[in-house]
Amino acid sequence: MKKYLLPLLLLLSLNAQAQESLEPQPLDDLMSPDEIAEESGFPRTEIPIVVKSIDDIARTESMDIFREFRVILIINKKAAGVGAQRMRVYLNGFLTYDWLVSTGRERWETAKSGRTYFSVTPTGYFYPYMLNKDHYSETWKTPMPYAVFFNGGIAVHATTPGLYKQLGSRASGGCVRLQHENAAFIFNRIQTEGRGLVPVINRNGTVSRDRRGNVIRRVNYRTLIIVEDR
């Protein structure tokens, strides 16, 4: 029996490697986020900034954002430690899911396109501005499934099964990668909750107010995406 076990394991390993090699490379490894944005006519990607924590907002802005947004995604992009490389999903104010993700590798590198860029997932508070279930690069003939764009060419999106083992580490070109079923859930939930009148929260976490101190509200997705590094 043992003499057949090793060849069988070797065959299974080779099959897995072959399957992985057939999977398309993630688009954010082939192109920089700015190139993804340029190809689709999206806004330019914003750089990282220092952001307030949710507790800071509650204390200094007198606002409970969990009451203001139907969906809140808190992405912790730190490299290691408690809560690192995870997405906490709040639905109607309640922590509902806590998933592994991969954010930017945080280094200078050259995409397959030839452009040199720093592969970072910028910190800040964001609203989704474009949802595309079947985003596709005509340049590279490569899909980016269940893409929720929130900062230029940076999106929350599904990764390929061959890269699931990288989840929990900094491994992307700047996007936030998730398992396929998790990305599909997020995409569909954001679509379902749709748009409504929500407070205008600036990228650093401050709340926009008028001259009288009233919170400024605008129609936007009822979803808030927070990228933190703490």
> Which residues are catalytically annotated?
157, 175
Which residue type sits at 55? D
Distance between CA 57 and CA 142 in Å, rounded? 39
Distance between CA 138 and CA 144 in Å, rounded? 11
Q: Which stretches of the chain are assigned E, i.e. beta strand?
A: 71-76, 86-91, 94-100, 108-110, 116-118, 124-126, 130-137, 142-151, 154-158, 176-178, 195-199, 217-221, 223-228
122's enclosing H/E stretch is none
Structure tokens at 70: 């139907």
- Give SS3 for 162: helix
Structure tokens at 64: 């409970």
Number of H helices and E strands in the chain, helices first, is 6, 13
